[in-house]
């Protein structure tokens, strides 16, 4: 009955993780004192005078050999050499040991002893692992794993002590010893396999947990061994779950040994979002490592995002913590998947809190509406006033422009228009770039253009660029709104603004030229160069107005409303960022900024329009012999001056106009260049519209301009 009790006790202990109080066990220090002679003297008095440990074991009778071998095996089970069983380390492999028996031992006893040796080797291996992994540098997971193994070894040593007690009573044979060792043989060997792999690869943290879990799955056919390995995994993961809990509920990485599967890059600061186009803060400040615990692999992304959201709120000074309860404590990751429910609860809380914080306290939608007013020219009255008062500064070269003066003029325009009612108008600033729009697009490598826009042979860049080509607006954005409106996002807004601003400038110049033509209509100049020029100016105006209509009403407004609705329905800040970035990329493409072939054609047409508008005053003055007034051609030549033209001799004016063939030739040259570019743009738009359906409306507008030209015979 005692033997059966020992076997049952050990199995129960392995499965339940309990241990026997070592103080109640028989003192096992006899293995070091070699008191076999006293035992034999008590049970077999004749052995004291007969046994000589210097003689080979084969010199004794088989029954005596068995007693000696059992005694040596009991010592070997706890890693101590016996008199006829020695321990040899494998050369070059410090973790591997071999047990050897006296060659003269009975062959049957040798075979039985060799069956028990794997258990002895496993004990030594586990003991050495426990000692090495209890060091400070090995990490919390290894510390917890070593502690669990140490508890198991106490149970194992208790079992050996019970076997020794049976041996002292003369109730233990070598076959019985082998039988009683069976319950722990598979468990110890399975643990030794895990330990060998962990030691060979120097596993720490997640790697240890994955190794234990994979080994447990591999032992699915042995319920006792699998239960033991699962318990080891639970014990080893307790410290890891503590790190996970702090990250999920507080947004803090408490990982002194670098074992957690989320890495923190402290060199990336949130301030980079406002000035670095390629800021990696949001995506790389916290990132996933490769060694993710297998039981968290499917939830790793959610865990990462949850902690990031909580961390953002802490950075805002908004101390928030997921409400804790007993049901939300991460104590294990068993088959009931309770830990997945805890992760979901933490994610939902953090996501909702951050989204409310950004939308309500920091008024994200209000900031985006302000950016739409100013950078997408949704509220244009301030821009008209600004272009009027800042014209003298904008016509200078970029390096000659005073940004401070432009800023003061911009502030004046904002304060004296409807923009003054916007609480965010003070965040608007102006800047002057050093390159044209095409050159800027060519430097932004991350934009998905169909081909390079840096080919300067297709478009003659202005030799002397001015502030009208390089002026831009910017917006002051503070944390945490910089997560959504980052430097990259603002740069995309600025690209759209610069394109719209230059189109507005071309439109104003053509309007000025049109006013000049309207002023001289009273002189009855039909059939002269002025009437031809008037038709050309009308076609140019229709082109630029069609382009502006397409950009504002066909692209920006519809996409803005789609984005607005999506932002209202967003469930997390990542969805907000995704929808906002998608809006900007879609607007860039539909505004032709990512279609270099079309963009170059449009820029060429605008350049011809500007050249024509600049030459209009000379053309008109040459046609009707008006002295140059030195006034600009943007409409400042008012109706009063043209009323004075009636006082001149009409016959003299007609004579000069008819004789001035140079004027007509110049107008025809502008007309040919404009028509050629416009006609070449039509087929490109039609072909591109097949892949880019949004270009269909623009093609209709442009083709309509071309049809008007043909109708008027231009």
Task: Say whether pLDDT at 628 is over 70.
Answer: no
> 189 and 253: one domain?
no
| 11-46 pLDDT tens trace | 334 434 444 343 333 343 334 334 444 444 444 443
Nearest to 695 by CA among 563, 597, 575, 581: 597
| 368-419 pLDDT tens trace | 999 999 999 887 778 888 999 999 999 999 889 999 999 999 999 888 888 7
Whether 378 is covered by a domain: the verdict is: no
Whether 678 is covered by a domain: the verdict is: yes
3-state helix/strand/coil string of 58-126: HHCCHHHHHHHHHHHHHHHCCCCCCCCEEEEECCCCCCCEEEEECCCCCHHHHHHHHHHHHHHHHHHHH
| Cα–Cα distance, 605 to 412 (Å, whole number) | 33
> 666 and 587: one domain?
yes
Three-state SS at 269: coil
Provide the pLDDT for residue 572: 92
Nearest to 63 by CA among 169, 167, 173, 171: 173
| 600-612 pLDDT tens trace | 999 999 999 998 8
| Cα–Cα distance, 255 to 309 (Å, whole number) | 19
| Cα–Cα distance, 346 to 248 (Å, whole number) | 6
Three-state SS at 275: helix
Whether 467 is covered by a domain: the verdict is: no
- Mean pLDDT across the chain: 80
**C-alpha pair distances (Å), 300 with each of 170, 256, 293:** 58, 20, 9
Whether 671 is covered by a domain: the verdict is: yes
Provide the pLDDT for residue 290: 87
Provide the pLDDT for residue 522: 58
Residue bearing tokens 């049952």:
8
Q: Structural domain tally of the chain?
A: 3
Find out whether 678 and 705 touch, Cβ atoms under 8 Å.
yes
| 282-335 pLDDT tens trace | 999 999 998 898 888 889 999 999 999 999 998 888 877 777 665 667 666 665
DSSP 137: G
> 181 and 299: one domain?
no
> 611 and 682: one domain?
yes
Three-state SS at 456: coil
| Cα–Cα distance, 238 to 192 (Å, whole number) | 21
Q: What is the mean pLDDT of residues 428-439?
A: 89
For 471, phi then psi, to 5°, come to -70, 145
Q: What is the CATH number of the domain that holds 614?
A: 1.20.120.1900
Provide the pLDDT for residue 459: 46
The two three-digit tokens of residue 555, written as one number: 């692209």
> 247 and 198: one domain?
no
Provide the pLDDT for residue 448: 56
Task: Say whether pLDDT at 109 is over 70.
Answer: yes
E strand or H helix that includes residue 286: strand 286-288
Domain that residue 348 falls in: 239-361
Q: What does the chain come to in residues?
A: 714
Task: Say whether pLDDT at 619 is over 60.
Answer: yes
Find out whether 669 and 677 touch, Cβ atoms under 8 Å.
no
Cis peptide before 480 (omega within 30 of 0): yes
500 contacts: CB under 8 Å, gap ≥ 6: 376, 377, 548, 551, 552
E strand or H helix that includes residue 431: strand 428-432
E strand or H helix that includes residue 201: helix 174-201
| 564-607 pLDDT tens trace | 999 999 999 999 999 999 999 999 999 999 888 889 999 999 99
Whether 465 is covered by a domain: the verdict is: no
Provide the pLDDT for residue 286: 93
| 229-242 pLDDT tens trace | 989 988 998 889 88
> 149 and 253: one domain?
no
263 contacts: CB under 8 Å, gap ≥ 6: 286, 287, 288, 289
> 556 and 696: one domain?
yes
Range with the poorest average pLDDT among 101-115, 412-426, 608-622 = 608-622
Rg (CA), the chain: 44
Task: Say whether pLDDT at 342 is over 90.
Answer: no
> 516 and 587: one domain?
yes
| 670-704 pLDDT tens trace | 888 888 888 888 788 887 777 777 788 777 777 66
428 burial via Cβ count (<10 Å: 0-12, 13-18, 19+): buried
**How does residue 99 score in pLDDT terms, banded at 50, 70 and 90?**
confident
Q: How many CB atoms lie within 10 A of CB 245?
A: 20
**Which of 202, 222, 254 is at the close of a domain?**
202
Nearest to 154 by CA among 6, 17, 30: 17
> 561 and 660: one domain?
yes
| 56-69 pLDDT tens trace | 888 888 888 889 88
Whether 36 is covered by a domain: the verdict is: no
Find out whether 30 and 71 touch, Cβ atoms under 8 Å.
no
Find out whether 80 and 65 touch, Cβ atoms under 8 Å.
no
> What residues form DSSP beta bridges with 286?
264
Whether 144 is covered by a domain: the verdict is: yes
Q: How many CB atoms lie within 10 A of CB 335?
A: 7
Provide the pLDDT for residue 369: 93
Whether 440 is covered by a domain: the verdict is: no
**Which of 333, 361, 389 is at the close of a domain?**
361
**How does residue 630 score in pLDDT terms, banded at 50, 70 and 90?**
very low
Provide the pLDDT for residue 682: 78
Q: What is the mean pLDDT of residues 105-109?
A: 88
**Which of 311, 330, 361 is at the close of a domain?**
361
SS3 content of the chain, % helix, strand, coil (to 5): 70, 5, 30
> 198 and 295: one domain?
no
> 661 and 534: one domain?
yes
> 657 and 582: one domain?
yes
pLDDT above 90 covers a percentage of the chain that reads 33
Could you tell me how far CA 448 lies from the centroid of its own chain? 19
């Amino acid at each position: 009955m005692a033997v059966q009790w020992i076997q049952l006790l050990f199995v129960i202990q392995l499965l339940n993780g309990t241990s026997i109080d070592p103080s109640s066990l028989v003192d096992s220090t006899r293995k070091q004192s070699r008191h076999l002679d006293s035992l034999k003297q008590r049970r077999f008095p004749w052995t004291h005078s007969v046994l000589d440990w210097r003689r080979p074991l084969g010199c004794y009778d088989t029954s005596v050999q068995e007693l000696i071998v059992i005694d040596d095996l009991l010592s070997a089970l706890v890693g101590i050499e016996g008199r006829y069983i020695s321990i040899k380390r494998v050369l070059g492999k410090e973790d591997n040991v071999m047990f050897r028996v006296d060659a003269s031992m009975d062959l049957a006893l040798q075979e039985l002893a060799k069956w028990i040796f794997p258990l002895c080797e496993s004990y030594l291996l586990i003991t050495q692992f426990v000692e090495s992994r209890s060091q400070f540098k090995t990490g919390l997971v290894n510390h917890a794993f070593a502690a669990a193994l140490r508890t198991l070894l106490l149970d194992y040593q208790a079992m050996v002590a019970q076997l020794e007690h049976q041996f002292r009573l003369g109730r233990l044979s070598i076959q019985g010893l082998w039988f009683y060792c069976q319950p722990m043989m598979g468990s110890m060997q399975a643990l030794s396999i895990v330990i060998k792999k962990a030691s060979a690869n120097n596993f720490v943290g997640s790697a240890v947990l994955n190794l234990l879990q994979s080994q447990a799955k591999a032992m699915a056919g042995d319920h006792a061994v699998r239960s033991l390995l699962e318990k080891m995994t639970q014990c080893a993961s307790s410290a890891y779950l503590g790190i996970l809990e702090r990250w999920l509920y507080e947004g803090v990485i408490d990982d002194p040994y670098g074992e957690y599967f989320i890495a923190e890059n402290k060199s990336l600061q949130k301030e980079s979002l406002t000035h670095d186009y390629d800021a990696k803060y949001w995506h790389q400040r916290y990132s996933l490592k490769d060694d993710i615990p297998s039981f968290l692999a499917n939830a790793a992304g959610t865990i990462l995002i949850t902690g990031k959201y909580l961390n953002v709120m802490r950075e805002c000074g908004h101390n928030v913590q997921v409400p804790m309860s007993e049901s939300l404590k991460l104590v294990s990751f068993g088959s009931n998947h309770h830990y997945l429910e805890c992760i979901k609860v933490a994610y939902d809380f953090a996501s909702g809190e951050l989204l409310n914080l950004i939308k309500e306290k920091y008024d994200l939608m209000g900031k985006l509406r302000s950016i739409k007013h100013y950078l997408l020219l949704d509220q244009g009255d301030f821009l008209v006033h600004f272009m009027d008062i800042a014209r003298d500064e904008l016509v200078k070269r970029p390096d000659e422009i005073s940004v401070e003066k432009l800023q003061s003029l911009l502030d004046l325009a904002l304060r004296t228009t409807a923009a003054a009612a916007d609480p965010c108008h003070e965040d608007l600033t102006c800047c002057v770039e050093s390159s044209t729009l095409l050159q800027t697009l060519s430097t932004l490598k991350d934009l998905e253009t169909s081909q390079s826009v840096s080919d300067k042979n297709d478009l003659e860049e202005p030799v002397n660029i001015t502030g009208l080509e390089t002026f831009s607006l910017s917006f002051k954005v503070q944390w945490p709104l910089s997560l959504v409106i980052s430097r990259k996002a603002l740069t995309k807004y600025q690209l759209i603004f610069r394109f719209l601003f230059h189109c507005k400038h071309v439109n104003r110049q053509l309007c000025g030229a049109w006013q000049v033509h309207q002023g001289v209509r009273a002189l009855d100049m039909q059939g002269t160069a002025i009437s031809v020029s008037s038709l050309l100016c009308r076609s140019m105006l229709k082109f630029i107005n069609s382009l502006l209509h397409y950009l504002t009403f066909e692209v920006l407004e519809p996409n803005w409303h789609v984005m607005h609705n999506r932002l209202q329905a967003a469930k997390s800040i990542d969805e907000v960022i995704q929808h906002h970035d998608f809006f900007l990329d879609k607007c860039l493409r539909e505004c032709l900024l990512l279609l270099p072939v079309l963009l170059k054609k449009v820029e060429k047409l605008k350049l011809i329009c500007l050249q024509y508008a600049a030459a209009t005053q000379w053309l008109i003055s040459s046609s009707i012999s008006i002295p140059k007034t030195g006034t600009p051609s943007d409409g400042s030549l008012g109706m009063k001056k043209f009323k004075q033209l009636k006082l001149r001799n009409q016959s003299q004016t007609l004579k000069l106009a008819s004789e001035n063939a140079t004027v007509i030739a110049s107008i025809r040259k502008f007309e040919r260049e404009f028509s050629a570019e416009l006609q070449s743009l039509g087929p490109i738009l039609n072909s591109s519209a097949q892949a880019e359906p949004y270009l269909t409306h623009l093609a209709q507008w442009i083709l309509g301009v071309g049809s008007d030209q043909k109708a008027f015979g231009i």
